Amino acid sequence: MDKLTNKEEEIMQVLWKLKKAFVKDVVAELPKPKPHYNTVSTVIRKMEDKGYVKHETFGNTHRYYPTVSKENYRKNYFLDATQNYFENSYKSVVSFFAQEEKISADELREIIKLIENKK
């Protein structure tokens, strides 16, 4: 699975939210300054080439929908990030977030409970 660019991820977030959308619907959901309709259309077609999106044809227009779930993309993205930036160590991932003060001790205790309950 090819990684999406930042712009593709932004558009994919909209498609996950709307489930099915025409380009004009996607443009309407994007933050200001809104990209041009043709730009969004081109990005979506590239995403279709990558296999993330398919379309249904309605006359001369297309309604697009995601073929990859947000959960599957997140899982693959996180696994890649863990492998590439944390030497495949989840301990290093958690340590990073703790050092950056992005996770609290209470949240860590909740994570430990989740792990212990899975056993």
pLDDT digits (tens, 9 = 90+) for 77-117: 889 889 999 999 988 988 898 888 888 889 989 988 998 99
The Cα–Cα gap between 29 and 18 comes to 9
Domain 6-66 fold is Arc Repressor Mutant, subunit A (1.10.10)
DSSP H or E segment with residue 54: strand 53-58
**pTM confidence score:** 0.80
Share of the chain above pLDDT 70, in %: 98
pLDDT digits (tens, 9 = 90+) for 9-47: 999 999 999 999 999 999 999 999 999 999 999 999 999
Domain boundaries of the chain, sorted by first residue: 6-66, 90-119
What confidence score (pLDDT) does residue 102 get?
Answer: 85
